[in-house]
Amino acid sequence: MELWYTEKQTDNVGITCKVNRTLHTETSPFQRIDVLETKQFGRMLLLDGLVMTTEKDEFVYHEMIAQVPLNTHPDPQRVLVIGGGDGGSLREVTRHPKVRQATLCEIDARVIEVCQEYFPAIANALRGNPKAEILVADGIAHIQERPHYYDVILIDSTDPIGAAEGLFTLDFYRQVYKSLKEDGIMAAQTESPFYDLNLVRKIYKNIEQVFPVTKLYLASIPTYPSGLWSFTLGSKRYDPEQVKEADIPDMPMQYYTAQIHKAAFNLPKFIDDALKTL
């Protein structure tokens, strides 16, 4: 018998993948955690039934959420990842040559443990990396304990339902601002412009109220709703579109390049128009 898994992405659309087997299922104190072995995308992590990452396309999301802000900042020594318990963003941060301290603040210890077991290539920085500090804690509380501390903060959250809702609010971005140094930068995953344009716009407007430089950028992620995914960067000083190609370190990448860094900020008209409306 064939096994298929469907994530219902809207009331009318889903993504369906053929599954070899279920490798892991549990309910942690925070959420349901599943690991599936799919035919198309390799291993797939689901949190509360929603696709968080897969072996085949994780590189797009993790390179783009991390390398764009890291290469916008001239000296990103101290970096925080809020969420991101699979370790993919942390892997990207720790391999950046200028980063000295990479802190991961994940609320659910079981996500970290499950990913260490089933996604070793994504989770490799979660154990024994000399640059990494792993905290199992609430990211909102953590940033209040470290004012004026980080050069870059990445918000690698789940979708804004349930536990992650607080990571998309105006008040949260104000706290992020306070935890950044005077020239700090934040970047957050900010959902699907095709399916949730109003939400994307609302998040952008929240970030824009706090950061003098606010820019949305895009990447193509096959397993996320609509395949077109947005990130929003908030910066106290540096403009991501003014980065010089020569300043981008030469590192092995699968998606991110100096050209992609620039191109990702060129928005389709319907998105640009939406962000310009009040």
Binding site for ligand SPD (CB under 6 A): 50, 52-53, 61, 84, 86, 88-89, 156, 158-159, 189, 224-225
Q: How far is the CB of 235 from ligand SPD (least distance, A)?
A: 21
Q: How far is the CB of 91 from ligand SPD (least distance, A)?
A: 10
CA distances to 46, 76, 83, 177, 205 from 174, in Å: 30, 20, 18, 5, 13
Q: Which C-beta is closer to ligand SPD: that of 139 or that of 225? A: 225
Q: Which C-beta is closer to ligand SPD: that of 57 or that of 243? A: 57
The yes-or-no answer on residue 156 being catalytic is yes
Rounded to an integer, what distance in angstroms lies between the CA atom of residue 177 and that of residue 180?
5
CA distances to 30, 131, 191, 215 from 149, in Å: 28, 16, 27, 23
235: β partners: 185, 213
Q: How far is the CB of 246 from ligand SPD (least distance, A)?
A: 30
Q: Which residues contact 254 (CB under 8 A, 6 or more apart)?
A: 59, 60, 63
Q: How many CB atoms lie within 10 A of CB 128?
A: 7
Q: Which residues contact 122 (CB under 8 A, 6 or more apart)?
A: 53, 55, 58, 62, 86, 87, 88, 91, 115
Q: Which residues contact 278 (CB under 8 A, 6 or more apart)?
A: none
Q: Which C-beta is closer to ligand SPD: that of 73 or that of 91? A: 91
Is 164 within 8 Å of 157 (Cβ atoms)? yes
Q: Which C-beta is closer to ligand SPD: that of 99 or that of 104? A: 104
Q: How far is the CB of 62 from ligand SPD (least distance, A)?
A: 6
Rounded to an integer, what distance in angstroms lies between the CA atom of residue 48 and that of residue 57?
20
Q: Which is the catalytic residue, given 156, 239, 247, 273?
A: 156
Is 189 within 8 Å of 157 (Cβ atoms)? yes
User: What type of residue sits at position 241?
Assistant: E
Rounded to an integer, what distance in angstroms lies between the CA atom of residue 269 and that of residue 79?
33
Q: Which C-beta is closer to ligand SPD: that of 108 or that of 159? A: 159
Q: How far is the CB of 74 from ligand SPD (least distance, A)?
A: 26
Q: How far is the CB of 66 from ligand SPD (least distance, A)?
A: 10
Q: Which C-beta is closer to ligand SPD: that of 118 or that of 238? A: 118
Q: Would you please indicate which residues are annotated as catalytic (active-site) residues?
A: 156
